Amino acid sequence: YDPHFRGLVDQAAGPILVSAANFGTGSSREQAAQCLKYAGIKCVIASSFSATFIRNALNNGLLVLECPGLSAVLRERYGGGTETDIATPSVVVDGRVEVSLREWKVTFTTAGKEESFAVTPLGPAAQELVVHGGLHQWIQANM
């Protein structure tokens, strides 16, 4: 738990949350994804996700992408948050992450250096949920 997380999200322009493996494990309720979306998180990138979290995120129109390469690089450079130092559960990086769904990649730029990482593509149904803003909106658009 990070009591400063909301403030960090509020300070960022287009915040993207990057995490390690099994993101969302233990969060079987859809409020976990809803809270991130309504806090302003635009996208969650992780090495892997709980299947339940993926379903809840997509149903709420929250973009979730698996990208083990980016996750590993950020962990190596910036540490593992709480696993490294309990006083700093959230780590803010000094770079920019750009998501390209056309090319299914993310690009991380810091200090003028650009690195690209492959993203596991989302299927057509998942893409439609994200584009429409969630399952409810998709149903309304398709009735």
Task: Give pTM, 2 decimals.
Answer: 0.90
Residue with tokens 């969630």: 134
pLDDT tens profile 87-139: 667 777 888 999 999 999 999 999 999 999 999 999 999 999 999 999 999 99
CB 59 within 8 A of CB 135: yes
State how far the alpha carbon of 115 is from the alpha carbons of 1, 68, 73, in Å.
30, 13, 10
Q: Is the dihedral of CA 101, 7, 75, 27 positive or negative?
A: negative
